[in-house]
Amino acid sequence: MIRFILVVIFVVLFLILSMPLMLIEWIIGKFNPDVKSRSSLAIVNWAFRVVLFLTGVKKTVIGEELVPKDEPVLYIANHRSYFDILLTYTRVPRPTGYVAKKEMEHIPLLNIWMTFLHCQFLDRKDLKAGMKTILTCIDKIKAGISICIFPEGTRNKAQSELPLMEFHEGSFKIAQKTGCAIVPIAITNSADIFESHFPKIKKTHVTIEYCEPFYIKDLPKEQQRSVGAYTRDLLTEKLMKNQSLS
């Protein structure tokens, strides 16, 4: 329980003590939005790294050098833990917005940082609002901001890593409409940090593997029509391979 208590204390203190930084970031954004994006990324990355240090998590990272650094991309990842966001966000090479559930928009202070970081809040029960979120993500990509989405639509709460839930094909409209690269991320064993033995946080080994980026236009026509299933197969293969590493 000591790790859980330390993480909670740090997160609460960070959100409260960072309020002056929020004001500074807001002012910077009025004059230079790009500087604000990068400074907010650096601040939150620092906080996330502290949280991961407190959890004692150890990481094996594979294929990170494959991620394009000079263009925005669409990250697609499996989702088993709240810590998936921290594990991947601390490694992004450029400002990146995550698609989060609508409920997180109502968490005080955290919602401000998420907005600064270009996160989008998805209402899974409102199809029209969901399409609006996708359109906003398309605009973000065009503006040079990468997007990360968990296409299973929610956290996979099954006992085992596999099988993955079905991927929502609508998530891939972001890449179809912008032509950006898709970077699948296979995250293995992240649920063992917290969710598998709630409320304890356990020192854990997690494997993060970045797959070879691909462009939808380069896929055969049949796979272009079901790019979600194609990506799901890629991640399933990596997860099966990496289970022994974690």
Q: For the segment 69-87, what is each residue's pLDDT rounded down to a tens digit?
A: 999 999 999 999 999 999 9
pLDDT value of residue 31: 96
List the one residue out of 181, 203, 183, 186 whose CA is nearest residue 194. 203
Give pTM, 2 decimals.
0.95
pLDDT value of residue 24: 97
Residue 93 lies in a domain: yes
Residue 11 lies in a domain: no
| Domain count across the chain | 1
Report strand pairing: 96-101 vs 146-149. Answer: parallel
Distance between start and end Cα atoms, the chain: 22
Query: pLDDT band for position 246 (50/70/90)?
Result: low
CA dist 72 and 95 (Å) reads: 9
CA dist 239 and 21 (Å) reads: 39
Residue 35 lies in a domain: no
CATH of the domain at 76: 3.40.1130.10
Residue 139 lies in a domain: yes
Q: Which two tokens stand for residue 246?
A: 């974690």
By residue range, what is the domain housing residue 73?
Answer: 57-242
CA dist 184 and 137 (Å) reads: 17
Residue 61 lies in a domain: yes
Residue 1 lies in a domain: no
Residue 97 lies in a domain: yes
pLDDT value of residue 83: 97
Query: pLDDT band for position 160 (50/70/90)?
Result: confident
